[in-house]
Structure 1
Amino acid sequence: MSSTGSETVIGNAKIVLAERVIERGWIVVADGRIAGFGEGRAPAGSADAHGDLIMPGLIELHTDHLEAHYVPRPKVFWDPIAAVVSYDGQLATSGITTVLDSLRVWREDGAGEDGRAGLMAESIASAREADLLRCDHFLHLRCEIPAADVVEEAKALIGRPDVRLMSVMDHTPGQRQFRDEGKLRDYYRGKGAGMTDAELDTLFERRIASQKAYAATNMPAIVALAHHYAIPLASHDDTTEENVSDAVRDSVAVAEFPTTMEAARGLHRAGIGILMGAPNVVRGGSHSGNIAAVDLACEGLLDILSSDYVPSSLLMAALQLPQRVPAIDLASAIRTVTKRPAEAVGLGDRGEIAIGKRADLIRVHVARDIPVVRCVWREGRRVA
């Protein structure tokens, strides 16, 4: 952006608005907000975007990628604040300006899955206080319902002002995404050093026992906690009509990664926003053999995209959607990674280019169908 006094101006850009695209236009930012935009020649003194896309910064509701920075190898734990800073930098250069860091609110002995949610929440806060972060960070508490201590661990975190979403999950063998137990075995065999069948038998027996012992009481307790603190609630891996009924009963706002068309249709009829993985779009299907996100998009059942485990996939998937689904134009596709996720968690001050909204913006150059984020601004300040 080119600065003149208290304003910054960028021109000769393809500007993606919430409902349409300005093929050649300009935008003005003042005091960290969108002050103006228009079509045609930019005001004098503007910076030249050379025809690149200017769009709102991407908004990410569910990313597991922080774990890869904190535990880069099995049993190798990095400095947690340094891990947060590294992760934040990767998000920003992928075009993400607001992120809900997905923290696992459970621990499981024997599976190497200590979520360390409290430690990571404090590390994110410390990095924020030291002005080390490029993105705006909030928390998404992922609550594994069969875990014995999940309610107490959630209670310890939910009073934090940065908590914006809670999700209820059940990864018990035979449930939801892992209704086919073989998929869960394949997942663990391919994870880290892998697990033997005997080890998996022991793990699965313990998980099934935990589900029987705790799920029936933990589920209503977590739902009540979310409603008491007015935190939006997400379901996870809805598969059956019964799962959909549970989501409706619990006043779920977002359904993450439904695994079947049956579930997605039921969720849509109930007015629940459907979130799918951007890697699913980029790869042309689910890595776990579930429903393809593009198939949902073709039926008008896709509301929000999440990068899940590949930060750069969020922008790639949004730009690919119009090519994969003719009924979706560029503005509609970009809404799945900006305006809609913002609205789902009550962040009404961002997610679109509109007068008075936060100037969270990205400049994107596309070559050979690969998008590259050239510049990132958060509240008008360039951060990448």
Structure 2
Amino acid sequence: MELAITGGRALLSDQGLVTADIGVQDGVIAEISGPERRFDATGLLVLPGIIDLHGDAFERQVQPRPGVSFPMDLAVAETEAQLLANGITTTFHGVTLSWEKGLRSAETWTSLLAALAANRPRQSCDMRIHLRWEAFNLPALDLALAAIEQGAVHLLAFNDHTPGILRKMADAATGAKYSERAGMKLDAFRDLANAIGTRADEVPAALARMAEAAQRAGIPMASHDDARVADRDAFRAMGARISDFPMSTEVAKAATEAGDSVIMGSPNVVRGGSHMGWSGAAETVEAGFCQILTSDYFYPAMLRAAFILADRHGQDGLAARWALISANPAAAAGLTDRGRIAQGLRADMVIVSRDPAPHVVATIAGGKLAYLSAEGAARLH
């Protein structure tokens, strides 16, 4: 027996939140037997590891300031440390592959894939790729198709930010935010964007090729920022059964009623609303039109959001709301081996204290004790 977690209240898949002892052996959840390291979880909660389907906070490790980049291996290592400290045991890095230069370029994409592959033998967090495909990025179409075919992509999302960028180019201050991220002068960036915009007629065929490749590879697909029900319907027809950040409750409702999974951001819940002025995530969850919460741009928000929503429903609210960041994203991503605490499943768990506010005491990822706070170290025997 590698590890026994004892005395805590565990969220078990078949019993709900009950006092239970849990064993970990060979990376999976097992019965407790024989000598073991023992983690005393008395007074703590033992919950399924958090699964983040859409997190792009890693971009701040790659480029903490506009135009200021750091080595990719360093960025990946620091990102993993942050993920584990926040109880996230499986993450889908939301990597935007755009026609832009700099942070969201083909060069950054290639460098990140290489760094993740090199890091994989020693990583604890299961770090995967959520390819946010920018619809107008026709020059990188073959690069993206190859990555899907090679198994480097685990979730494909269709993005179309180019029309919005083109509209914003008229304002120098707003345009400068994009040009700085790309490491370009504003005029040069404006010329590049305008040139890309002239190829709109080629976009539908490219989207169809991407969808066909994802279907062949058996990976889930999503559409991002669905503005209208008609948009969601069109992407569903292409095989995309996830609505990633719908822009209105109307779209989220229609998606849910059609059997799609709806994703919204945990920061929206924690802050009390969308910083973009769109639908409130908490209200959409309560209405039954959002099944998954993600970190979006702030990893600590996932755990806090689940507890904020759970506390609205008293003592029995945690099981349903924790599923927003564990069982539900696992199901949407086709990950049948995680998202719940049950014998034989991957041993991904986060041990949480609620005193004085919800925070991570320890994280177990793939059976490894991957993060341990000072409070947690005092409980390990």
TM bracket, shorter-chain basis: 0.7 to 0.9
Q: Partner of 2:334 in structure 1?
A: 346
Give the whole-Å Cα distance in 2 for the aligned partners of 1:238 and 1:53: 36
Q: Provide the alpha-carbon RMSD of the alignment.
A: 3.1
Q: Partner of 1:283 in structure 2?
A: 271
Q: Partner of 1:17 in structure 2?
A: 12
Give the whole-Å Cα distance in 2 for the aligned partners of 1:96 and 1:287: 23
Alignment of 1:160-171 (within 5 A): 160-171=150-161
In the alignment, structure 1 residue 27 sits paired with structure 2 residue 15: no
User: Does the Cα contact within 8 Å between 2:59 and 2:103 map onto a contact in 1?
Assistant: no
In the alignment, structure 1 residue 383 sits paired with structure 2 residue 359: no
In the alignment, structure 1 residue 143 sits paired with structure 2 residue 133: yes
| SS, match of residue 59 in structure 2 | helix
Give the whole-Å Cα distance in 2 for the aligned partners of 1:45 and 1:119: 39
- Which of 186, 198, 204 does residue 209 from structure 1 map onto? 198
User: Does the Cα contact within 8 Å between 2:3 and 2:25 map onto a contact in 1?
Assistant: yes
| SS, match of residue 76 in structure 2 | helix
**1:241-298, CA deviations, whole angstroms, 9 ceiling, x for partnerless residues?**
2112112211212110001111111111111100111111111111111111112112
Question: How many residues are treated as equivalent by the alignment?
Answer: 365
Distance change in 2, residues 1:181/1:33 (3 Å) = same
In the alignment, structure 1 residue 87 sits paired with structure 2 residue 87: no
- Which of 284, 290, 310 does residue 302 from structure 1 map onto? 290
Distance change in 2, residues 1:328/1:290 (3 Å) = farther
Give the whole-Å Cα distance in 1 for the aligned partners of 2:59 and 2:314: 36
Amino acid in the other structure paired with 1:58? I
User: Does the Cα contact within 8 Å between 2:168 and 2:175 map onto a contact in 1?
Assistant: no
Q: CA deviation at 1:299?
A: 1.2
- Which of 303, 315, 323 does residue 303 from structure 2 map onto? 315
| SS, match of residue 259 in structure 1 | coil
User: Does the Cα contact within 8 Å between 1:17 and 1:331 map onto a contact in 2?
Assistant: no
Give the whole-Å Cα distance in 1 for the aligned partners of 2:224 and 2:57: 18
- Which of 329, 333, 336 does residue 317 from structure 2 map onto? 329
Give the whole-Å Cα distance in 2 for the aligned partners of 1:328 and 1:291: 26
User: Does the Cα contact within 8 Å between 1:297 and 1:325 map onto a contact in 2?
Assistant: no
- Which of 96, 100, 116 does residue 92 from structure 2 map onto? 100
- Higher mean displacement: 159-168 or 135-144: 159-168
Alignment of 1:111-130 (within 5 A): 113-114=104-105, 116-129=108-121
- TM-score, structure 1 normalization: 0.85
Q: Partner of 2:220 in structure 1?
A: 232
Give the whole-Å Cα distance in 2 for the aligned partners of 1:290 and 1:144: 21
| SS, match of residue 361 in structure 2 | strand
- Higher mean displacement: 74-83 or 118-127: 74-83
User: Does the Cα contact within 8 Å between 1:298 and 1:325 map onto a contact in 2?
Assistant: no
Give the whole-Å Cα distance in 2 for the aligned partners of 1:197 and 1:79: 26
Q: CA deviation at 1:325?
A: 6.3
User: Does the Cα contact within 8 Å between 1:226 and 1:232 map onto a contact in 2?
Assistant: yes
Distance change in 2, residues 1:12/1:252 (3 Å) = same
Give the whole-Å Cα distance in 1 for the aligned partners of 2:351 and 2:314: 25
Structure 1: gaps of 5 or more residues: 1-5, 38-42
**1:298-357, CA deviations, whole angstroms, 9 ceiling, x for partnerless residues?**
210111111011011111111111235679821111111111111112211111001111
Structure 2: gaps of 5 or more residues: 372-381
Distance change in 2, residues 1:349/1:75 (3 Å) = same
**1:1-48, CA deviations, whole angstroms, 9 ceiling, x for partnerless residues?**
xxxxx25322221212346533433222222221248xxxxx999542
Q: CA deviation at 1:170?
A: 0.5
Structure with a larger share of its residues in helix = 2
- Higher mean displacement: 272-281 or 224-233: 224-233
Q: Partner of 2:376 in structure 1?
A: none
Q: Partner of 2:378 in structure 1?
A: none
Amino acid in the other structure paired with 2:78? S
In the alignment, structure 1 residue 152 sits paired with structure 2 residue 177: no
Amino acid in the other structure paired with 2:299? P
In the alignment, structure 1 residue 59 sits paired with structure 2 residue 47: no
- TM-score, structure 2 normalization: 0.86
Amino acid in the other structure paired with 1:57? G
Give the whole-Å Cα distance in 2 for the aligned partners of 1:185 and 1:54: 51
Give the whole-Å Cα distance in 2 for the aligned partners of 1:180 and 1:58: 37
Give the whole-Å Cα distance in 1 for the aligned partners of 2:36 and 2:111: 50
Give the whole-Å Cα distance in 2 for the aligned partners of 1:363 and 1:318: 14
**1:213-236, CA deviations, whole angstroms, 9 ceiling, x for partnerless residues?**
432222111111111211111111
- Higher mean displacement: 114-123 or 44-53: 44-53
Distance change in 2, residues 1:298/1:181 (3 Å) = farther
